[in-house]
Structure 1
Amino acid sequence: MVALFHSLVGAAAVVTCIANFMAEHPHFATDPAAGVHKTALFLGTYIGGVTFTGSLVAFGKLQGMLF
């Protein structure tokens, strides 16, 4: 159950980073720190995605659905 709930945290991180990117996209052309911000959003999305899929795999293995 913990693995299943942990996957929701990863999904929330992905959705939050994507929404933040969409909201801030118009400002990236004039922001001098846009590269740092985009890098942080990319890493948040990537790590959240790995957390999401890894936790789902762990849940499936612990429940005996995956071998």
Structure 2
Amino acid sequence: MDRLALILLIVGALNWGLVGLFKFDLVASLFGGEFSVLSRIVYTIVGIAGIYGISLLFRDREAAGESS
């Protein structure tokens, strides 16, 4: 679940980078516009991944399965 959330966060970050640098929304161009149902679903899933990603900040590294 952590990796999926991280992948979605990267997709969202790359999309926002494209919007900021080039005024190009990749998600909107792939899924039929900023307000299309598919685009809104992708935006929602990325947003949920962002909320889930907040929990990664507060986890103990060893509890997450990583060792030093």
Q: TM-score, normalised by structure 2?
A: 0.46
Instruction: Point out which structure has higher relative CO (alpha carbons under 8 A, 6+ apart).
Output: 1
Higher helix share: 1
Structure of higher CA gyration radius: 1
